[in-house]
């Protein structure tokens, strides 16, 4: 994998000078910046710096965090302990219901950011590790395909490592989702 600094330099150039062309090769203006899990804190610092740079150059940025997507609604409703008790009983279909609900929440967060940006700007999708093991990002991004169009862009920061065969591993698991995104690895 390339150095994180180099990937962020390329990302900055893409977002400042080539946002309108991002969808040409993939069909969507999505960028996946892959970083090693141990680089997460540095990646977060670089995200903040990039967001300041973009805003300083007149490009609006909105951040959508994946933290709390899976369990926040249950916690707000006072049902988190009940959910954990049901999960411990291995109720058939419970994980799929949790995943479906979380996917709806995350997609709604992304589309709300799109509305706030009014068609032009960059959405940073952060804290992707927090959706594991309930969600895969691919189907959520597929659900945003016709919603986010240039000059808007969506960038997601993806903690993964390459194994000995060159395959990406997300939190130790082989990446199973298909992403139509420009990769920065």
Question: Which pLDDT band holds residue 87 (cuts at 50, 70, 90)?
Answer: confident
pLDDT at 144 over 90: yes
pLDDT at 145 over 80: yes
- Can you tell me which residue has the tokens 């990039």? 50
Q: Which of 7, 8, 135 is nearest to 66 (CA)?
A: 135
Contact 20, 149 (CB under 8 A): no
pLDDT at 77 over 60: yes
**pLDDT for 83:** 82
Give the integer Cα–Cα distance in Å for 183 and 19.
Answer: 14
Contact 46, 4 (CB under 8 A): yes
Give the integer Cα–Cα distance in Å for 37 and 33.
Answer: 12
- Can you tell me which residue has the tokens 């995350």? 106
**pLDDT for 175:** 64
3-state secondary structure of 138: helix
- Can you tell me which residue has the tokens 């709806």? 104
Q: Is the dihedral of CA 17, 47, 156, 113 positive or negative?
A: negative
pLDDT at 178 over 70: no
């Amino acid at each position: 994998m390339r150095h994180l600094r180099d990937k962020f330099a390329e990302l900055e150039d893409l977002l400042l000078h080539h946002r309108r062309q991002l969808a040409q090769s993939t069909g969507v203006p999505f960028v996946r910046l892959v970083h090693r899990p141990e680089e997460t804190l540095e990646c977060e610092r670089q995200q903040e710096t990039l967001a300041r740079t973009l805003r300083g150059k007149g490009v609006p940025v909105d951040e959508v965090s994946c933290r709390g997507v899976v369990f926040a609604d249950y916690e707000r409703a006072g049902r988190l302990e009940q959910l954990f008790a049901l999960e411990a009983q291995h109720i058939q279909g419970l994980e799929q219901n949790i995943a479906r609900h979380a996917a709806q929440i995350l997609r709604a967060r992304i589309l709300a950011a799109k509305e706030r940006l009014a068609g032009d700007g960059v959405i940073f999708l952060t804290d992707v590790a927090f959706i594991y093991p309930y969600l895969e990002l691919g189907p959520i991004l597929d659900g945003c395909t016709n919603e986010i169009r240039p000059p808007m862009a969506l960038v997601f920061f993806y903690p993964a490592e390459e194994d000995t065969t060159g395959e990406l591993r997300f939190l130790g698991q082989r990446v199973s989702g298909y992403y139509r995104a420009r990769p920065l690895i």
